[in-house]
Each structure stands twice: as structure tokens, then as C-alpha cells.
Structure 1
């Protein structure tokens, strides 16, 4: 499965992976200062990406043709990854690539 291009997101709150998975989406997005948008990248295996503005506000871009379930899982996975939390609650097939200052992080 292709990896997800992402950028690093500084956590604005201390959440557990369980909270990221369980909080109502609106509450979660507000707590981590994230908005949602769409991208026309609709390739198989691509779930989305995150951009971080200078203010620390993040936008998660999800494929425009993704189902509601895929959008929910991808959003929660990307938030978990960017907060630096363990991703053990998600299927192992989900992967993220973190790009910081134009460089892929190990």
C-alpha cells in the first residue's frame, strides 16, 4: 500500500490513542486545531495528507471520492500519527510518511 505524504504536527493537547479513536469528530478536530478538506487525488491505497500552517493550524485533505468510513478512519489515523501517538489501534496496512521541512523523516 502506498504511504501517505504528511507533515509534522505539534500536539496542541495531550490525548491518548483511545481518545483520538473515540471522541466525536467535531470535538477531536477542535482539540487538535484541525480542519478537513478534500483533494482530487483518488488513487487506490491513498488516504490523504496533512498540511501545517505557520500558526500551527492543520488541514487534513481526504480523497474526494472516499466513503464516510474511510474519511473517519483516515482522519483519526493521521491525527494519531501527527500527535506522535502509537498507532496500534489501527490496521498495520495503514502507513504514513512524515515530511518535515521538505525531508522525509525516518
Structure 2
């Protein structure tokens, strides 16, 4: 089973922004446009465990950063980013394989600058 983690350190994306995107749009939009629509950026993580695809952090200003292992191939990285954004927005994940598993963490009092 593949594991994907999302770390929410502040409230998630505002409802109006989330309502503007569908799962299909998250899968189809060019990456730059998708990141602009969700107020997001990309980063890499040194976590390189089998089946781990990445995580999302959220700042107090609702800016997200999607972190993926540097070792992922381009196609896998793209799918992981889109899956993590879909999860973050609370959209249906029916367009992704059922083997993905998400763990959602909220760290009280923690806000990433």
C-alpha cells in the first residue's frame, strides 16, 4: 500500500477557492496553473521510504507547499502532487488508484512562516 501524508498546520484552503476546482481539473490543469489556483509551491523532502509519496504543509496565510521525495520519477511525482492537492482540497479521489492511503496530521499551535 502506498502512503501519502498531509500535514495541515493551519486552516485549509478557503471554501471559495476549493469550490472553483474539480478533481478532473486538478488532474488536467498544467502544473503551474494548478499551483497558482491553490496558492501553492513545490518542494522536495529527504524522506525516501518505500511507498511514501509526500506531504502538504499549510501556512497561516493558506499558502500550501507540496513536498515529494526527490527520488520519484517525473510521472510518479506529478501524480503524487495532484493526489495531495486533491486530498488537501477535500475533493473526491476517484480518479486516483485505490491503493493510496492518506494520514492527515494537524499540529496545534504550529504555523509555518
TM-score (norm 1): 0.88
Provide the residue aligned with 1:6 in structure 2: 6
Q: For structure 1, list consecutive stretches of 5 or more residues without a partner in the other structure.
A: none
Give the number of equivalent residue pairs: 102
User: Which has the higher relative contact order, 1 or 2, with Cα contacts under 8 A spaced 6 or more apart?
Assistant: 2
Instruction: Check conservation: 2:2, 2:99, Cα contact below 8 A.
Output: no
Shift of residue 97 of structure 1? 1.1
**Aligned partners of 1:90, 1:2: CA distance in 2, in Å?**
12
Shift of residue 3 of structure 1? 3.0
**Aligned partners of 1:54, 1:27: CA distance in 2, in Å?**
22
Q: 4+ residue stretches of structure 1 with deviation over 4 A? A: none
Instruction: Check conservation: 2:44, 2:67, Cα contact below 8 A.
Output: yes
Q: For structure 2, list consecutive stretches of 5 or more residues without a partner in the other structure.
A: 109-113
- Alpha-carbon RMSD: 1.4
Name the SS of the counterpart of 2:57 in structure 1: strand
Shift of residue 39 of structure 1? 0.4
TM-score (norm 2): 0.83
**Aligned partners of 1:3, 1:67: CA distance in 2, in Å?**
16
